[in-house]
Every structure is written in C-alpha cells, then in structure tokens.
Amino acid sequence: MAWISNLSVKSRTLLSILTLLLCTAGLGVFSLTKLSTINDEAADVRDNWLPSVSAISRLYTTFDYYRTLEGAHLIASTDDDIKSEDKALLESADRIEQRRMDYQKLLTPGWETETYQKFVKSYQAYMKISQEQLLPLSRKNDNDGAGAIYRGSSRDEFRTSKDLLQSLMDFNATEGKRAADRGEQVYQTSKLWVTAILVLVVAICVGAAWMIVRTVIRPIQAITWMMGRLADRDMTVSIDGTDRGDELGAMARAVQVFKDNMIEADRLAAVEAAEQQAKLRRAQAVERLLTGFENSSTAALRTVAAAASELDATAHSMSAMAQQTSTQATVVASAAEQTSANVQTVATATEEMASSIREIGTQIARSARSGRSGCRSRGSNWPFPRWRWRRSGHSRWSARPPTPRRWPGCWSAVPSPTCCARWRPTPMRPLPRCAGQPSTNSRIR
C-alpha cells in the first residue's frame, strides 16, 4: 500500500478510470466480436440456408406438380383437356426454370454445387423425355405408349431428380441448423466470457472504490477532523500522513505548518502581551515621574521667577555701577597712559642699572678670589665664630650655626656678594664669607 500512497490522487483516479475504461472497452469489443459472429451465423441462416431451403422446397414442389400434370395429360381424352393440360405443363415448366434460377443464386461452392449440377443433368434428361416422347404420344391419345414411358424411363429420371432435390433440401436444412448451432455455441461462450468480464469489472470497480475510500476519502476526513481540532485551538492533536508522497501528504504537511504557525503565533501573542504589560507599567512609571517633575519644575520655576526678580534689581544696580565704573575707567585710562610712559623710562634705567650690577658683580667676584687666596697664604682662620656640633636626629653629625645676624649693609642673615662688596674690611673687621663660599676654618668640623 506504500506505493499507492506515494501515487498522486490524480494518478490513482486516472489509473482507476483507465482500468475501468479498458475493462469496459474490452468487454465491448469482445461482445461486439461475438455478436458479429452470431450475426454472421444468423445472416448466413437468413440469407443463405433459409432462402436455399425455401427455394429448393418450391422447386421440389413445382417439379412434383409438373409430374402430376403429366399424369393428368395422360388421362385427358378430348382436345380441350389436352390443350388445357399442355398449357398447365408449360406454365409449370416455366416456374421450374424460374425457381431453379433463384436457387442457383444461393448455391454454396462445394458439395451443394456439384449435387445441383447432377440435378440439372437429370432434370434436363427428364424434360427431354417428357417433351419429346411422353407428351407427343399423349396428345395422340396413345395412352399405352405414353403410359409405358411415364412408368418407365420418365419415372426413373423423375425419381433421380427428386432424390437430388431432396438431398439438396436436407443439406440446406442441415447447414442452416448447423449455422444456428454455431450461433448458439457462440452465444453460450460469449455469455460465459461476458459474465467473467463483468465479474472482473465489478471486482475492479469495488477495488478502485475501496482504494479511493482508503487512500483518498479517509485521509481527507482525517485532515478535516484535524483542522477542526486546530480551529478549536487544540494544539495537542497529532498530524498524521506527513510522510505520504501524494497531494494528501502535501495537505497534511501544510496542516502541520499551520499548527506550528499557530503555536508560534500563540507564543508571540503571549510575548506581546507581556511586553504590553511592561509598556503599561513603564508608562505608568513615566507618568508618575512626569507628574513629580511637573510639580518640581513648577516649584523651581517659582524660585527662578523670584531669583529673576532679584537678578533684575541687581542688574539695574550693576548697570548704574557699570556707568560709574566706565567714567572712572576713562580717568584710569588717562593715568595708565602716563604710567606707561613712566614705566618705559624706568625700564630703560633698569636695563642700564642691570648692566652696571653685572659689571660690579664681576669685579666683586674677582676681589673675593683675591681675598681668599690672601687669607690662605697668611694661615689665618675664618672670621666667623666657631660653630658647635651636636647630635641631630639623623645618623650623621651636623653643625648648628649660631643665631644668624645681619651683616652691615645686608638685609639677609647670610652675606651675599653684594654685601661683601659693600663691606669695608679693617683690621678689626675682617672680610665676611660670601654665600656659596666654602668654609676654610680648621676649627669647624
């Protein structure tokens, strides 16, 4: 049944119809063939054997009647009776010739034709005896001579011809019956074959109907039931027939896709409903925030409005101050121009003073070097009071100088080259140590 399920509905329907058509056509052809055979046999009986039997029977009867007229001619004694019998014999002879021609058209080649030829020879011999021997003597009333011929050679030829006609009559009757028997046999055989073919056609029709119901109607009903269940939102229904290779399998697969899409649609609807709920909650939260923001912004705007009023008053006061400042700035600008001119003059003097100071520094450095070299040559000690060493918080010893004092002419506690330049050494006032000059006092450790 799997190969039937893989056939398309169109192929199955066409196969069933073609099978029925072939069976019906075969039955029709067979029936027509047998009917044609029966018709041929019936036509043979109708057109050959029955007309032959009828023609040979009429010929037989006419020939026998001619024999009867010959006997009547022998009995006739008057001329009128003889003429009347001659006329009857002539008419009977014409009818024999006509009926013999009619029968000759229906002859069947073979035994019938040969027998008929024998009849014709015997008939011609009989008519020759009748026309040339028997009737002339009867017309002369020579009944003894005519009777002798009538009972002699004429009777022998008549019996021979009559036997031949009888055999021809029996032959046509027998062949007619045989043709009828063949027709009967063909009918019986055809009836059996037609019955068998009809049984086969009925079986094929029943099989085709069963196949269509089993492979088409029931799957369609099943698909209809499954689609009804899906229409009722029953997603637990199982879709059968998706493995079929026909249109019904395609329908089942389409229903499966429809079911999957419905499940997916339900899932998406649930997700969308959840998203809608989330959006609703967010909208409510945003609305609450907007309400709070509106309240806050209203209060802030009130505060800003008050501040703006204060700023406006401040701006008016600052504007007045700005006007006063502008007036003072004009005066200051004039003074600044004068000050700029004085600054330029001072800058020029400062540059000249810096040059003089650099020159003085150079001379002082030179004098300092000369003084140190002189002190070292006399072996004198540095004129500073001796510093005392003490243990500091570090790991090394350090000297703590005494309380610094200003040197004459210096603003700092440590003498500078400028101070050294201003100091006038005397025997009682030795030259101080300038800043940056290392100590040479041997008493200082």
pLDDT band at 215 (very low <50, low <70, confident <90, very high): confident
Tokens of 172: 């046509």
> Mean of the pLDDT values across residues 322-350?
69
d(CA 400, CA 67): 205
Give the containing element (helix H, strand E) for 350: helix 247-378
In this prediction, residue 396 carries a pLDDT of 47
In this prediction, residue 170 carries a pLDDT of 92
CA 169 to chain CA mean position, Å? 82
- Tell me which of 315 and 419 has the higher pLDDT: 315
The answer to whether the CB of 201 falls within 8 A of the CB of 17 is no
Q: How far is CA 54 from CA 59, 121, 187, 251, in A?
A: 9, 22, 26, 75
The answer to whether the CB of 48 falls within 8 A of the CB of 174 is no
Q: To the nearest whole percent, how much of the chain has pLDDT over 90?
A: 16
How many H helices and E strands in the chain? Answer: 11, 2
Widest distance between CA atoms in the chain:
243
d(CA 170, CA 174): 6
In this prediction, residue 383 carries a pLDDT of 47
- With vertex at residue 47, the alpha carbon angle to CA 45 and CA 52, rounded to the nearest 5 degrees, is 80
Using the predicted structure, report yes or no on whether residue 118 has a pLDDT greater than 60. yes
Tokens of 27: 């039955």
Using the predicted structure, report yes or no on whether residue 342 has a pLDDT greater than 90. no
235, amino acid identity: M
Give the containing element (helix H, strand E) for 399: strand 397-400
Place of tokens 């006038």: 424
The answer to whether the CB of 65 falls within 8 A of the CB of 92 is yes
List helix spans (H) across 130-246.
Answer: 135-139, 143-151, 153-212, 218-231
Tokens of 136: 């002339």
Using the predicted structure, report yes or no on whether residue 293 has a pLDDT greater than 90. no
d(CA 33, CA 27): 10
In this prediction, residue 148 carries a pLDDT of 92
d(CA 49, CA 107): 9
pLDDT band at 399 (very low <50, low <70, confident <90, very high): very low
- Give the 3-state secondary structure of residue 283: helix
Backbone angles phi, psi at 317, to 5 degrees: -65, -40
In this prediction, residue 98 carries a pLDDT of 92
In this prediction, residue 346 carries a pLDDT of 64
In this prediction, residue 314 carries a pLDDT of 74
The answer to whether the CB of 50 falls within 8 A of the CB of 176 is yes
Mean pLDDT, the chain, rounded, equals 78
d(CA 365, CA 380): 21
In this prediction, residue 398 carries a pLDDT of 47
> Mean of the pLDDT values across residues 284-294?
85
Place of tokens 């896709």: 257
Sign of the C-alpha dihedral computed for residues 68, 70, 72 and 75 taken in this order? negative
In this prediction, residue 329 carries a pLDDT of 62
In this prediction, residue 45 carries a pLDDT of 83
In this prediction, residue 336 carries a pLDDT of 62
Q: Which of 89, 108, 113, 91 is nearest to 164 (CA)?
A: 113
d(CA 388, CA 346): 48
Using the predicted structure, report yes or no on whether residue 274 has a pLDDT greater than 60. yes
At what angle are helices 9-44 and 247-378 packed, to 10 degrees? 160
- Give the 3-state secondary structure of residue 224: helix
Using the predicted structure, report yes or no on whether residue 411 has a pLDDT greater than 60. no
Summarised one tens digit per residue, pLDDT across range 38-64 is 888 888 888 888 888 889 899 999 999
Tokens of 52: 């032959």
